[in-house]
Structure 1
Amino acid sequence: MGDCIYCGRPAGLLRKFHPECKERYENTWNTMIYKAKSSALGLSQMDNLENELRNLAKQGYVPEHKIREAIVSGWEEAVQHFLEDGQLDKQEEEKLLKFIQYFGLSQYELDKNGMYTRLVQAAVLRDVLEGKVPQRLTVAGTLPFNFQKNESLVWVFKSVKYYEQRTRREYVGASQGVSIRIARGVYYRVGGFKGYPIEKVEKVHVDTGMLAITTKHIYFHGSVKSFRIPYSKIVSFTPYSDGFGINKDAASAKPQIFETGDGWFVYNLVVNLARGDFN
Protein backbone atom coordinates (compact mmCIF):
# COMPACT_ATOMS: atom_id res chain seq x y z
CA MET A 1 0.00 0.00 0.00
CA GLY A 2 1.51 3.32 -1.10
CA ASP A 3 1.12 6.86 0.18
CA CYS A 4 -0.59 9.67 -1.72
CA ILE A 5 2.01 11.69 -3.62
CA TYR A 6 0.10 14.86 -2.68
CA CYS A 7 -1.01 14.61 0.96
CA GLY A 8 1.35 11.85 2.09
CA ARG A 9 -1.35 9.72 3.70
CA PRO A 10 -2.11 6.10 2.72
CA ALA A 11 -3.67 6.08 -0.75
CA GLY A 12 -4.93 2.51 -0.81
CA LEU A 13 -3.97 -0.67 -2.55
CA LEU A 14 -2.13 -0.07 -5.87
CA ARG A 15 -2.96 3.65 -5.76
CA LYS A 16 -0.50 6.55 -5.86
CA PHE A 17 -2.87 9.36 -4.91
CA HIS A 18 -6.35 10.29 -3.77
CA PRO A 19 -8.44 11.67 -6.67
CA GLU A 20 -9.57 14.58 -4.51
CA CYS A 21 -5.94 15.43 -3.66
CA LYS A 22 -4.95 15.44 -7.33
CA GLU A 23 -7.87 17.72 -8.17
CA ARG A 24 -6.94 20.04 -5.32
CA TYR A 25 -3.33 20.18 -6.52
CA GLU A 26 -4.29 20.92 -10.14
CA ASN A 27 -6.77 23.65 -9.18
CA THR A 28 -4.21 25.25 -6.89
CA TRP A 29 -1.49 25.12 -9.54
CA ASN A 30 -3.72 26.75 -12.14
CA THR A 31 -4.67 29.46 -9.63
CA MET A 32 -1.00 30.15 -8.89
CA ILE A 33 -0.20 30.56 -12.60
CA TYR A 34 -3.24 32.80 -13.08
CA LYS A 35 -2.17 35.09 -10.23
CA ALA A 36 1.37 35.30 -11.63
CA LYS A 37 -0.03 36.07 -15.08
CA SER A 38 -2.25 38.85 -13.68
CA SER A 39 0.76 40.37 -11.97
CA ALA A 40 2.85 40.22 -15.17
CA LEU A 41 0.00 41.86 -17.08
CA GLY A 42 0.03 44.73 -14.58
CA LEU A 43 -3.42 43.87 -13.21
CA SER A 44 -2.20 43.16 -9.66
CA GLN A 45 0.71 44.12 -7.45
CA MET A 46 3.99 42.22 -7.58
CA ASP A 47 5.18 42.93 -4.03
CA ASN A 48 2.79 40.42 -2.41
CA LEU A 49 2.73 37.80 -5.17
CA GLU A 50 5.28 35.42 -3.66
CA ASN A 51 3.46 35.38 -0.30
CA GLU A 52 0.17 34.66 -2.04
CA LEU A 53 1.70 31.83 -4.02
CA ARG A 54 3.38 30.41 -0.92
CA ASN A 55 0.08 30.32 0.98
CA LEU A 56 -1.70 28.73 -1.95
CA ALA A 57 1.04 26.13 -2.32
CA LYS A 58 0.65 25.06 1.32
CA GLN A 59 -3.10 24.65 0.92
CA GLY A 60 -2.93 22.77 -2.38
CA TYR A 61 -0.05 20.32 -1.84
CA VAL A 62 2.24 22.22 -4.22
CA PRO A 63 5.94 21.93 -3.27
CA GLU A 64 7.51 25.25 -2.35
CA HIS A 65 10.26 24.87 -4.97
CA LYS A 66 7.58 25.08 -7.67
CA ILE A 67 6.63 28.65 -6.71
CA ARG A 68 9.28 30.11 -9.02
CA GLU A 69 8.10 27.79 -11.79
CA ALA A 70 4.59 29.21 -11.36
CA ILE A 71 5.98 32.75 -11.64
CA VAL A 72 7.75 31.86 -14.89
CA SER A 73 4.67 30.10 -16.28
CA GLY A 74 2.53 33.12 -15.44
CA TRP A 75 4.98 35.38 -17.27
CA GLU A 76 4.88 33.08 -20.31
CA GLU A 77 1.08 33.25 -20.40
CA ALA A 78 1.26 37.04 -20.12
CA VAL A 79 3.53 37.14 -23.18
CA GLN A 80 1.09 34.95 -25.09
CA HIS A 81 -1.76 37.26 -24.05
CA PHE A 82 0.03 40.38 -25.28
CA LEU A 83 0.93 38.69 -28.58
CA GLU A 84 -2.57 37.50 -29.41
CA ASP A 85 -3.03 40.50 -31.71
CA GLY A 86 0.36 39.86 -33.36
CA GLN A 87 1.91 43.01 -31.90
CA LEU A 88 3.73 44.10 -28.77
CA ASP A 89 3.50 47.77 -27.88
CA LYS A 90 6.01 49.63 -25.75
CA GLN A 91 3.84 49.64 -22.61
CA GLU A 92 3.30 45.88 -22.81
CA GLU A 93 7.01 45.25 -23.20
CA GLU A 94 7.78 47.47 -20.21
CA LYS A 95 5.35 45.53 -18.00
CA LEU A 96 6.95 42.22 -18.93
CA LEU A 97 10.48 43.54 -18.40
CA LYS A 98 9.53 45.06 -15.05
CA PHE A 99 8.21 41.68 -13.92
CA ILE A 100 11.46 40.00 -15.00
CA GLN A 101 13.57 42.52 -13.11
CA TYR A 102 11.48 42.41 -9.95
CA PHE A 103 11.73 38.63 -9.56
CA GLY A 104 15.26 38.36 -10.95
CA LEU A 105 14.26 35.92 -13.67
CA SER A 106 17.03 34.75 -15.99
CA GLN A 107 16.87 34.45 -19.75
CA TYR A 108 17.57 30.73 -19.36
CA GLU A 109 14.46 30.29 -17.19
CA LEU A 110 12.27 32.35 -19.49
CA ASP A 111 13.39 30.77 -22.74
CA LYS A 112 12.96 27.07 -21.91
CA ASN A 113 9.81 27.14 -24.03
CA GLY A 114 11.09 29.83 -26.40
CA MET A 115 8.90 32.56 -24.92
CA TYR A 116 11.72 35.02 -24.21
CA THR A 117 12.82 34.72 -27.84
CA ARG A 118 9.26 35.43 -28.97
CA LEU A 119 9.21 38.55 -26.81
CA VAL A 120 12.44 39.85 -28.35
CA GLN A 121 11.24 38.99 -31.87
CA ALA A 122 8.01 40.93 -31.33
CA ALA A 123 10.02 43.92 -30.11
CA VAL A 124 12.30 43.66 -33.17
CA LEU A 125 9.28 43.72 -35.48
CA ARG A 126 7.92 46.78 -33.69
CA ASP A 127 11.23 48.58 -34.18
CA VAL A 128 11.23 47.75 -37.89
CA LEU A 129 7.62 48.88 -38.34
CA GLU A 130 8.51 52.16 -36.64
CA GLY A 131 11.44 52.65 -39.02
CA LYS A 132 14.07 52.00 -36.35
CA VAL A 133 17.09 49.76 -36.78
CA PRO A 134 16.74 47.04 -34.09
CA GLN A 135 19.65 46.79 -31.66
CA ARG A 136 18.44 43.76 -29.68
CA LEU A 137 20.67 40.97 -30.99
CA THR A 138 24.00 40.06 -29.41
CA VAL A 139 26.20 37.64 -31.33
CA ALA A 140 28.93 35.67 -29.60
CA GLY A 141 31.85 34.93 -31.90
CA THR A 142 32.38 35.73 -35.57
CA LEU A 143 29.80 35.29 -38.30
CA PRO A 144 30.87 33.95 -41.73
CA PHE A 145 29.48 36.94 -43.62
CA ASN A 146 31.05 40.02 -45.19
CA PHE A 147 28.53 42.68 -44.23
CA GLN A 148 28.56 45.99 -46.01
CA LYS A 149 29.19 49.27 -44.24
CA ASN A 150 25.72 50.67 -44.83
CA GLU A 151 23.77 47.77 -43.31
CA SER A 152 23.02 46.48 -39.81
CA LEU A 153 22.49 42.93 -38.64
CA VAL A 154 18.94 42.35 -37.38
CA TRP A 155 18.64 38.59 -36.76
CA VAL A 156 20.49 35.30 -37.25
CA PHE A 157 19.07 31.81 -37.67
CA LYS A 158 21.12 28.64 -37.27
CA SER A 159 20.61 25.21 -38.89
CA VAL A 160 18.42 26.66 -41.64
CA LYS A 161 17.46 24.26 -44.43
CA TYR A 162 17.78 25.83 -47.88
CA TYR A 163 15.66 24.53 -50.76
CA GLU A 164 15.33 25.33 -54.44
CA GLN A 165 12.36 24.57 -56.66
CA ARG A 166 13.50 22.71 -59.74
CA THR A 167 11.61 21.52 -62.79
CA ARG A 168 12.17 17.93 -63.89
CA ARG A 169 11.00 16.70 -67.29
CA GLU A 170 10.01 13.09 -67.83
CA TYR A 171 8.20 11.16 -70.56
CA VAL A 172 5.07 9.12 -69.97
CA GLY A 173 3.23 6.67 -72.19
CA ALA A 174 6.46 5.37 -73.75
CA SER A 175 6.50 1.98 -75.46
CA GLN A 176 9.35 -0.28 -76.45
CA GLY A 177 7.40 -1.58 -79.46
CA VAL A 178 7.77 -5.06 -80.95
CA SER A 179 11.04 -6.29 -82.43
CA ILE A 180 10.72 -8.55 -85.50
CA ARG A 181 13.78 -10.52 -86.59
CA ILE A 182 14.45 -10.07 -90.32
CA ALA A 183 17.83 -11.76 -90.61
CA ARG A 184 20.53 -12.92 -88.31
CA GLY A 185 21.50 -9.97 -86.06
CA VAL A 186 19.03 -7.62 -87.82
CA TYR A 187 15.80 -6.51 -86.15
CA TYR A 188 13.04 -4.19 -87.21
CA ARG A 189 11.26 -2.34 -84.40
CA VAL A 190 7.54 -1.76 -84.88
CA GLY A 191 5.49 0.71 -82.88
CA GLY A 192 8.24 2.14 -80.68
CA PHE A 193 7.70 5.73 -79.46
CA LYS A 194 9.11 7.94 -76.76
CA GLY A 195 5.87 9.18 -75.23
CA TYR A 196 5.00 12.77 -74.38
CA PRO A 197 6.85 15.01 -71.95
CA ILE A 198 5.46 16.32 -68.65
CA GLU A 199 7.16 18.66 -66.19
CA LYS A 200 7.21 18.19 -62.43
CA VAL A 201 8.17 20.90 -59.97
CA GLU A 202 10.13 19.58 -56.99
CA LYS A 203 11.44 21.18 -53.82
CA VAL A 204 15.05 20.06 -53.52
CA HIS A 205 17.08 20.34 -50.31
CA VAL A 206 20.34 21.97 -51.38
CA ASP A 207 22.12 22.82 -48.14
CA THR A 208 21.81 23.53 -44.41
CA GLY A 209 23.52 26.51 -42.85
CA MET A 210 23.25 29.93 -41.25
CA LEU A 211 20.83 32.64 -42.35
CA ALA A 212 21.47 36.30 -41.51
CA ILE A 213 18.88 39.05 -41.95
CA THR A 214 20.18 42.61 -42.26
CA THR A 215 18.64 45.92 -43.14
CA LYS A 216 19.80 45.51 -46.76
CA HIS A 217 20.29 41.84 -47.57
CA ILE A 218 19.49 38.22 -46.85
CA TYR A 219 22.66 36.14 -46.34
CA PHE A 220 23.05 32.37 -46.39
CA HIS A 221 26.17 30.37 -45.57
CA GLY A 222 26.34 26.59 -45.86
CA SER A 223 28.85 23.91 -46.72
CA VAL A 224 27.66 23.78 -50.34
CA LYS A 225 26.29 27.25 -51.08
CA SER A 226 26.84 30.75 -49.77
CA PHE A 227 25.22 33.87 -51.20
CA ARG A 228 23.80 37.32 -50.54
CA ILE A 229 20.44 38.55 -51.85
CA PRO A 230 19.59 42.27 -51.85
CA TYR A 231 15.97 43.11 -51.12
CA SER A 232 15.89 45.20 -54.29
CA LYS A 233 16.29 42.01 -56.35
CA ILE A 234 13.36 40.19 -54.71
CA VAL A 235 10.06 40.29 -56.59
CA SER A 236 7.89 38.47 -54.05
CA PHE A 237 7.90 36.69 -50.69
CA THR A 238 5.96 33.53 -49.87
CA PRO A 239 5.00 32.73 -46.25
CA TYR A 240 5.29 29.20 -44.86
CA SER A 241 4.47 27.90 -41.40
CA ASP A 242 8.15 27.13 -40.78
CA GLY A 243 9.94 29.63 -43.02
CA PHE A 244 9.61 31.75 -46.15
CA GLY A 245 10.28 31.67 -49.87
CA ILE A 246 11.44 34.30 -52.35
CA ASN A 247 11.31 34.87 -56.08
CA LYS A 248 14.08 37.01 -57.56
CA ASP A 249 13.85 39.43 -60.46
CA ALA A 250 15.49 37.29 -63.13
CA ALA A 251 14.07 35.15 -65.93
CA SER A 252 16.18 32.14 -64.97
CA ALA A 253 15.87 32.55 -61.21
CA LYS A 254 14.52 29.56 -59.30
CA PRO A 255 12.22 30.00 -56.29
CA GLN A 256 14.27 29.75 -53.09
CA ILE A 257 12.93 28.54 -49.75
CA PHE A 258 14.42 28.90 -46.26
CA GLU A 259 13.18 26.71 -43.43
CA THR A 260 13.94 28.53 -40.18
CA GLY A 261 11.39 26.88 -37.90
CA ASP A 262 9.52 30.16 -37.33
CA GLY A 263 7.59 31.33 -40.37
CA TRP A 264 5.53 34.09 -38.76
CA PHE A 265 8.49 36.06 -37.45
CA VAL A 266 10.94 35.70 -40.33
CA TYR A 267 8.33 36.39 -43.04
CA ASN A 268 7.10 39.58 -41.36
CA LEU A 269 10.69 40.61 -40.69
CA VAL A 270 12.01 40.32 -44.26
CA VAL A 271 8.85 41.78 -45.83
CA ASN A 272 8.96 44.90 -43.68
CA LEU A 273 12.73 45.30 -43.99
CA ALA A 274 12.34 45.14 -47.78
CA ARG A 275 9.66 47.83 -47.69
CA GLY A 276 11.58 50.13 -45.34
CA ASP A 277 14.39 52.56 -45.91
CA PHE A 278 17.17 51.86 -43.39
CA ASN A 279 20.06 53.97 -44.66
Structure 2
Amino acid sequence: MLNFVKKFLTKREGKIKYNELLKHFLSDGKLDASEKQELEKLSKEYGFSKEELMDAHKKASSLAFQNIIGDGKITEEEKKALEELMGYFGVNQKDFNFDQKAFNKFYTLGLIDKGILPEIQRHDIDIIFKKDEILHWGCPGITRKYKKITNRINYGGLTASIKIMKGLRYRVGSVGFSTSSSEHLVTEDVGAFWLTNQRIGFKGNRKNFAFPYSKIHAFELTPTGLVISKEGKETPYIIGLDDYDIPCMVISHILNNDKK
Protein backbone atom coordinates (compact mmCIF):
# COMPACT_ATOMS: atom_id res chain seq x y z
CA MET A 1 0.00 0.00 0.00
CA LEU A 2 2.81 2.37 0.92
CA ASN A 3 4.62 1.56 -2.33
CA PHE A 4 1.46 2.33 -4.30
CA VAL A 5 1.04 5.71 -2.59
CA LYS A 6 4.72 6.52 -3.08
CA LYS A 7 4.55 5.62 -6.77
CA PHE A 8 1.38 7.68 -7.20
CA LEU A 9 2.93 10.76 -5.58
CA THR A 10 6.12 10.36 -7.60
CA LYS A 11 4.21 10.20 -10.87
CA ARG A 12 2.10 13.19 -9.92
CA GLU A 13 5.27 15.15 -9.21
CA GLY A 14 6.68 14.01 -12.55
CA LYS A 15 3.58 15.14 -14.45
CA ILE A 16 3.84 18.57 -12.88
CA LYS A 17 7.48 18.83 -13.98
CA TYR A 18 6.62 17.55 -17.47
CA ASN A 19 3.75 20.03 -17.89
CA GLU A 20 5.85 22.97 -16.71
CA LEU A 21 8.75 22.03 -18.99
CA LEU A 22 6.42 21.51 -21.95
CA LYS A 23 4.76 24.88 -21.39
CA HIS A 24 8.17 26.57 -21.21
CA PHE A 25 9.39 24.93 -24.42
CA LEU A 26 6.23 25.89 -26.30
CA SER A 27 6.60 29.61 -25.58
CA ASP A 28 7.83 29.97 -29.18
CA GLY A 29 5.12 27.66 -30.56
CA LYS A 30 7.39 24.73 -31.49
CA LEU A 31 9.68 22.01 -30.13
CA ASP A 32 13.22 21.63 -31.42
CA ALA A 33 15.22 18.38 -31.32
CA SER A 34 16.97 19.11 -28.01
CA GLU A 35 13.67 20.02 -26.32
CA LYS A 36 12.08 16.79 -27.52
CA GLN A 37 15.03 14.80 -26.15
CA GLU A 38 14.69 16.47 -22.76
CA LEU A 39 10.96 15.73 -22.63
CA GLU A 40 11.53 12.10 -23.62
CA LYS A 41 14.25 11.77 -20.98
CA LEU A 42 11.89 13.08 -18.30
CA SER A 43 9.14 10.75 -19.53
CA LYS A 44 11.42 7.69 -19.24
CA GLU A 45 12.63 8.79 -15.82
CA TYR A 46 9.10 8.64 -14.44
CA GLY A 47 7.98 5.75 -16.60
CA PHE A 48 5.16 7.58 -18.35
CA SER A 49 3.21 5.82 -21.06
CA LYS A 50 1.89 7.61 -24.15
CA GLU A 51 -1.62 7.41 -22.75
CA GLU A 52 -0.56 8.99 -19.44
CA LEU A 53 0.85 12.00 -21.28
CA MET A 54 -2.03 12.38 -23.72
CA ASP A 55 -3.89 14.88 -21.54
CA ALA A 56 -0.75 17.03 -21.25
CA HIS A 57 -0.22 16.87 -25.01
CA LYS A 58 -3.82 17.91 -25.72
CA LYS A 59 -3.49 20.92 -23.42
CA ALA A 60 -0.15 21.80 -25.01
CA SER A 61 -1.72 21.67 -28.48
CA SER A 62 -4.49 24.02 -27.33
CA LEU A 63 -1.88 26.38 -25.89
CA ALA A 64 0.14 26.32 -29.11
CA PHE A 65 -2.97 27.08 -31.17
CA GLN A 66 -3.93 30.02 -28.96
CA ASN A 67 -0.39 31.37 -29.21
CA ILE A 68 -0.31 31.39 -33.01
CA ILE A 69 -3.66 33.19 -33.36
CA GLY A 70 -2.79 35.70 -30.65
CA ASP A 71 -1.52 38.32 -33.11
CA GLY A 72 -4.51 38.01 -35.44
CA LYS A 73 -2.84 36.07 -38.24
CA ILE A 74 -1.20 32.69 -38.92
CA THR A 75 1.95 32.51 -41.02
CA GLU A 76 2.96 29.53 -43.14
CA GLU A 77 5.74 28.79 -40.65
CA GLU A 78 3.28 28.78 -37.73
CA LYS A 79 0.92 26.50 -39.65
CA LYS A 80 3.71 23.99 -40.30
CA ALA A 81 4.90 24.19 -36.68
CA LEU A 82 1.39 23.37 -35.42
CA GLU A 83 1.06 20.46 -37.84
CA GLU A 84 4.44 19.06 -36.77
CA LEU A 85 3.52 19.44 -33.11
CA MET A 86 0.22 17.60 -33.61
CA GLY A 87 2.07 14.83 -35.43
CA TYR A 88 4.66 14.52 -32.68
CA PHE A 89 1.98 14.38 -29.97
CA GLY A 90 -0.24 12.05 -31.98
CA VAL A 91 -3.32 14.28 -31.67
CA ASN A 92 -5.82 15.55 -34.24
CA GLN A 93 -8.05 18.61 -34.43
CA LYS A 94 -10.85 16.95 -32.46
CA ASP A 95 -8.58 16.21 -29.50
CA PHE A 96 -8.09 19.81 -28.37
CA ASN A 97 -9.62 23.29 -28.59
CA PHE A 98 -9.00 23.74 -32.30
CA ASP A 99 -11.31 26.22 -34.03
CA GLN A 100 -11.41 25.57 -37.78
CA LYS A 101 -13.26 28.80 -38.52
CA ALA A 102 -10.71 30.86 -36.59
CA PHE A 103 -7.83 28.99 -38.27
CA ASN A 104 -9.23 29.66 -41.76
CA LYS A 105 -9.70 33.34 -40.97
CA PHE A 106 -6.29 34.00 -39.43
CA TYR A 107 -4.44 31.88 -41.99
CA THR A 108 -6.14 33.85 -44.79
CA LEU A 109 -5.19 37.13 -43.10
CA GLY A 110 -1.61 35.89 -42.90
CA LEU A 111 -1.59 35.15 -46.63
CA ILE A 112 -3.04 38.57 -47.50
CA ASP A 113 -0.38 40.17 -45.32
CA LYS A 114 2.17 38.43 -47.57
CA GLY A 115 0.40 39.75 -50.68
CA ILE A 116 -1.44 36.51 -51.51
CA LEU A 117 -5.19 37.02 -51.96
CA PRO A 118 -7.60 34.09 -51.54
CA GLU A 119 -9.07 32.63 -54.73
CA ILE A 120 -12.53 31.06 -54.38
CA GLN A 121 -13.25 28.40 -56.99
CA ARG A 122 -16.46 26.89 -55.61
CA HIS A 123 -19.26 29.30 -54.73
CA ASP A 124 -22.98 29.93 -55.22
CA ILE A 125 -22.86 33.66 -55.89
CA ASP A 126 -24.96 34.42 -58.98
CA ILE A 127 -22.77 36.91 -60.82
CA ILE A 128 -21.42 37.07 -64.37
CA PHE A 129 -17.65 37.30 -64.34
CA LYS A 130 -15.70 39.46 -66.75
CA LYS A 131 -12.64 38.22 -68.62
CA ASP A 132 -9.79 37.24 -66.27
CA GLU A 133 -11.92 38.09 -63.23
CA ILE A 134 -11.11 36.14 -60.04
CA LEU A 135 -13.38 35.90 -56.99
CA HIS A 136 -11.41 36.77 -53.85
CA TRP A 137 -14.24 36.93 -51.33
CA GLY A 138 -17.96 36.27 -50.99
CA CYS A 139 -20.17 36.16 -47.90
CA PRO A 140 -23.74 36.86 -46.71
CA GLY A 141 -24.43 40.52 -46.08
CA ILE A 142 -27.03 43.23 -45.86
CA THR A 143 -27.28 46.79 -47.13
CA ARG A 144 -28.44 49.49 -44.78
CA LYS A 145 -29.76 53.01 -45.23
CA TYR A 146 -30.90 55.91 -43.11
CA LYS A 147 -34.64 56.46 -43.17
CA LYS A 148 -36.22 59.71 -42.00
CA ILE A 149 -39.28 59.22 -39.80
CA THR A 150 -41.58 62.21 -39.16
CA ASN A 151 -43.66 62.33 -36.00
CA ARG A 152 -46.68 64.63 -35.54
CA ILE A 153 -47.08 66.19 -32.13
CA ASN A 154 -50.32 67.81 -30.96
CA TYR A 155 -49.85 70.85 -28.80
CA GLY A 156 -52.45 73.18 -27.36
CA GLY A 157 -52.83 76.08 -25.01
CA LEU A 158 -55.84 76.64 -22.73
CA THR A 159 -59.06 75.66 -24.49
CA ALA A 160 -62.73 75.47 -23.67
CA SER A 161 -65.92 74.54 -25.48
CA ILE A 162 -69.35 76.18 -25.32
CA LYS A 163 -72.51 74.31 -26.14
CA ILE A 164 -74.47 76.13 -28.86
CA MET A 165 -77.21 73.63 -29.54
CA LYS A 166 -77.75 69.91 -29.27
CA GLY A 167 -74.90 68.06 -30.91
CA LEU A 168 -72.90 71.21 -31.67
CA ARG A 169 -70.23 72.87 -29.56
CA TYR A 170 -68.03 75.85 -30.24
CA ARG A 171 -64.37 75.56 -29.27
CA VAL A 172 -62.45 78.59 -28.05
CA GLY A 173 -58.75 78.88 -27.30
CA SER A 174 -55.76 77.75 -29.36
CA VAL A 175 -54.64 74.33 -30.58
CA GLY A 176 -51.39 73.92 -32.51
CA PHE A 177 -49.56 71.11 -34.28
CA SER A 178 -45.83 70.57 -34.70
CA THR A 179 -43.69 67.86 -36.25
CA SER A 180 -40.33 66.32 -35.44
CA SER A 181 -38.24 64.03 -37.56
CA SER A 182 -35.44 61.59 -36.81
CA GLU A 183 -33.22 59.28 -38.85
CA HIS A 184 -33.09 55.55 -38.22
CA LEU A 185 -30.70 53.01 -39.71
CA VAL A 186 -32.76 50.25 -41.33
CA THR A 187 -32.02 47.15 -43.39
CA GLU A 188 -32.53 47.85 -47.07
CA ASP A 189 -31.73 44.47 -48.65
CA VAL A 190 -30.31 41.02 -47.92
CA GLY A 191 -27.92 39.16 -50.19
CA ALA A 192 -24.25 38.40 -50.87
CA PHE A 193 -21.30 40.78 -50.70
CA TRP A 194 -18.44 39.90 -53.05
CA LEU A 195 -14.99 41.03 -54.10
CA THR A 196 -13.03 40.14 -57.23
CA ASN A 197 -9.71 41.34 -58.56
CA GLN A 198 -11.64 43.85 -60.72
CA ARG A 199 -14.84 44.83 -58.93
CA ILE A 200 -16.68 45.18 -55.65
CA GLY A 201 -20.36 44.23 -55.56
CA PHE A 202 -23.51 43.18 -53.77
CA LYS A 203 -26.13 40.74 -55.07
CA GLY A 204 -29.36 41.40 -53.19
CA ASN A 205 -32.89 40.08 -53.28
CA ARG A 206 -34.14 43.41 -54.64
CA LYS A 207 -31.12 45.46 -55.68
CA ASN A 208 -27.62 44.82 -56.99
CA PHE A 209 -24.56 46.95 -57.46
CA ALA A 210 -21.09 46.40 -58.85
CA PHE A 211 -18.35 48.79 -59.85
CA PRO A 212 -14.56 48.84 -60.30
CA TYR A 213 -12.28 49.72 -57.39
CA SER A 214 -11.20 52.87 -59.22
CA LYS A 215 -14.67 54.29 -58.50
CA ILE A 216 -14.23 54.01 -54.72
CA HIS A 217 -13.85 57.53 -53.33
CA ALA A 218 -13.44 56.34 -49.72
CA PHE A 219 -14.23 53.41 -47.49
CA GLU A 220 -14.18 53.01 -43.73
CA LEU A 221 -15.35 50.61 -41.07
CA THR A 222 -17.81 52.21 -38.64
CA PRO A 223 -20.17 50.91 -35.94
CA THR A 224 -22.93 50.95 -38.59
CA GLY A 225 -20.96 48.73 -40.98
CA LEU A 226 -18.60 49.03 -43.93
CA VAL A 227 -19.24 52.45 -45.46
CA ILE A 228 -18.21 52.72 -49.13
CA SER A 229 -18.41 56.06 -50.94
CA LYS A 230 -18.59 55.79 -54.72
CA GLU A 231 -17.67 58.60 -57.07
CA GLY A 232 -20.80 60.27 -58.44
CA LYS A 233 -23.13 58.80 -55.79
CA GLU A 234 -24.55 61.18 -53.22
CA THR A 235 -25.04 58.68 -50.40
CA PRO A 236 -22.58 55.92 -49.51
CA TYR A 237 -23.28 52.21 -49.46
CA ILE A 238 -23.52 50.80 -45.94
CA ILE A 239 -22.75 47.07 -45.82
CA GLY A 240 -23.41 44.90 -42.78
CA LEU A 241 -21.36 41.68 -42.43
CA ASP A 242 -20.73 39.10 -39.74
CA ASP A 243 -16.96 39.69 -39.96
CA TYR A 244 -15.14 42.55 -41.65
CA ASP A 245 -11.45 41.66 -41.23
CA ILE A 246 -10.81 39.70 -44.44
CA PRO A 247 -12.92 41.82 -46.85
CA CYS A 248 -11.39 45.04 -45.49
CA MET A 249 -7.87 43.66 -45.96
CA VAL A 250 -8.69 42.50 -49.50
CA ILE A 251 -10.05 45.94 -50.44
CA SER A 252 -7.09 47.72 -48.84
CA HIS A 253 -4.60 45.46 -50.61
CA ILE A 254 -6.20 45.99 -54.04
CA LEU A 255 -6.56 49.76 -53.61
CA ASN A 256 -2.99 50.18 -52.39
CA ASN A 257 -1.58 48.08 -55.23
CA ASP A 258 -3.66 49.93 -57.83
CA LYS A 259 -2.02 53.18 -56.73
CA LYS A 260 1.49 51.82 -57.26
Q: Normalised by the size of structure 1, how large is the TM-score?
A: 0.62
In structure 2, give the amino acid aligned to 1:52.
Answer: L
* Residue 220, structure 1, aligned to residue 202, structure 2: yes
Distance 1:266 1:197 in 2: 38
Give the aligned partner of residue 70 of structure 1: 60
1:204 Cα deviation from its structure 2 partner: 0.9
- The aligned residue for residue 129 of structure 2 is 147
Deviation digits for residues 128-177 of structure 1 (CA, Å, limit 9, x no counterpart)? xxxx6x2x34443432222222532112223x3432233333355x4156
Amino acid at match of 2:155: S
* Uncovered stretches (5+) of structure 1, i.e. residues with no partner: 1-7, 10-20
Q: Tell me whether 1:175 sits opposite 2:155 in the alignment.
A: yes
The alignment status of 1:233 with 2:215, answered yes or no, reads: yes
Quick one: which amino acid aligns to residue 111 of structure 2?
Answer: A
Structure 2 CA distance for aligned equivalents of residues 176 and 139 of structure 1? 66
Corresponding residue number in structure 2 for 1:203: 185
Q: 2:107 & 2:191 partners in 1: Cα distance?
A: 25
CA distance in 1, matches of 2:201, 2:230: 14
What is the aligned-residue RMSD (CA, Å)?
4.4
Unaligned stretches of 5+ residues in structure 2: 6-11
CA contact (8 A) 1:76 1:115 kept: no
Paired residues of 1:217 and 1:228 also in contact (CA < 8 A): yes
Q: Does 1:124 align with 2:106?
A: no
Structure 1 segment 1-279 matched on structure 2, within 5 A: 29=19, 32-40=22-30, 44-45=31-32, 49=36, 52=39, 55=43, 58=48, 63-64=53-54, 67-68=57-58, 70-71=60-61, 73-81=63-71, 83=72, 93-102=75-84, 103=86, 110-112=98-100, 114-127=102-115, 134=117, 136-158=118-140, 160-171=141-152, 174-175=154-155, 178=159, 180=161, 183=164, 184-185=167-168, 187-188=170-171, 190-198=173-181, 200-240=182-222, 243-250=225-232, 252-261=234-243, 263-277=244-258
**How much identity, in percent, do the aligned residues show?**
14
Q: CA shift at 1:215, angstroms?
A: 2.3
* Residue 229 of structure 1: how far off its partner (Å): 4.2
Letter paired with 1:67: H
* 1:42-74 C-alpha deviation (Å, 9 max, x unpaired): xx5168649838939959x97515525523531
Cα gap change, 1:194/1:216 in structure 2, threshold over 3 Å: closer, same or farther? farther
Letter of the structure 1 residue corresponding to residue 102 of structure 2: G
CA contact (8 A) 2:121 2:135 kept: no
Count of residue pairs brought into register by the alignment: 238
Of Structure 1 and Structure 2, the greater helix share is in: 2
Structure number with greater Rg is 2
Amino acid aligned to 1:169: T
What is residue 8 of structure 2 aligned with on the other side? none
SS at 1:115's partner residue? helix
Equivalent-residue separation in structure 1 for 2:105 and 2:190 (angstroms) = 22
Letter of the 1:96 counterpart = E
Distance 2:132 2:200 in 1: 14
The Cα of 1:112 is off from its aligned counterpart by 3.4
The Cα of 1:237 is off from its aligned counterpart by: 1.6
Q: Distance in 1 between matches of 2:152 and 2:131?
A: 51
Change (3 A) 1:191 1:122: farther
* Residue type at the aligned position of 1:253: T
